[in-house]
Amino acid sequence: MDKQNTKHNTEQQILEAARTVFIRKGLEGARMQEIANEAGINKALLHYYFRSKEKLFNHIFENALSSVFDVINESILEDGDVFVFIETFVDNYLTTLQSNPFIPNFIFNEINSHPEKTGQFTEKIKLNVPGYKHMMEKNIAQKKICNIAPEHLLIDMLGMCVFPYIGRPLLEKVFFDEHPAGIENFLYERKQHIISFLKKSLQP
């Protein structure tokens, strides 16, 4: 195996280990030594690839956002169908959250603790808002959907997708206290529920 492949494999090994630790401990609770142990490498090698916990987290964070919003933006077309957009958005966004459930809490904690970072997040979340609004207006004009402000639909989608991950401890206690494994089935079913609910709510 050449050096380039070895470097790539080690980096991926570190990223998977970090994701596991971040899911378990969150950004604040995670420690570089714990990530190194999870990856099966020494701490010096971890620091060689990623100088700090924040740089490691940001790498995972940005890759996760790029993977979902690149696909979502591809579904925003001038003559696009809003229902196709909803399916693409919800499917890709929830798939990303399932793999990176620590992201919503991280974003909200950072914005609440450091409001000055809001601009950094909006730069990383590169959603084609003008194209989305134009697509919505065209679907409304063609009477494919009811008259709804584009902002409301986008916030509805985000809220319905994100809340179960932000409020997971509460949901587990209220609904799944006796059957802890039930939360995973609930989150899996949530995807189709959201898509179906939003489609019905947009009927003209």
CATH number of residue 192's parent domain: 1.10.357.10
Tens-digit pLDDT profile for the chain (204 aa)?
566 667 778 999 999 999 888 878 877 888 999 999 999 999 999 999 998 998 888 888 787 777 777 878 888 887 889 999 999 989 988 988 888 887 888 777 777 777 776 777 777 777 888 999 999 999 999 999 999 999 999 999 989 999 999 898 899 999 998 888 899 899 889 999 999 999 999 998
Residues 33 and 43: beta-carbon distance below 8 Å: yes
The answer on 8 and 83 residing in a single domain is no
Q: What is the CATH number of the domain that holds 41?
A: 1.10.10.60
Phi-psi region of 114 (alpha: psi -120 to 50; beta: other; left: phi over 0): beta
- Residue 39, token pair as written in the block: 């990856």
| One domain, residues 27 and 94 | no
Residues 19 and 64 in one domain: no
* pTM given for the model: 0.77
Are 34 and 134 contained in the same domain? no
Which domain range does residue 12 map to? 1-51
4 and 103 belong to one structural domain:
no
What's the rounded Cα separation, in Å, for the pair 41 and 132?
45
148 and 121, same domain (yes or no): yes
Please tell me the total count of domains within the chain. Answer: 2
Q: For residue 195, how many other CB atoms are within 10 A of its CB? A: 20
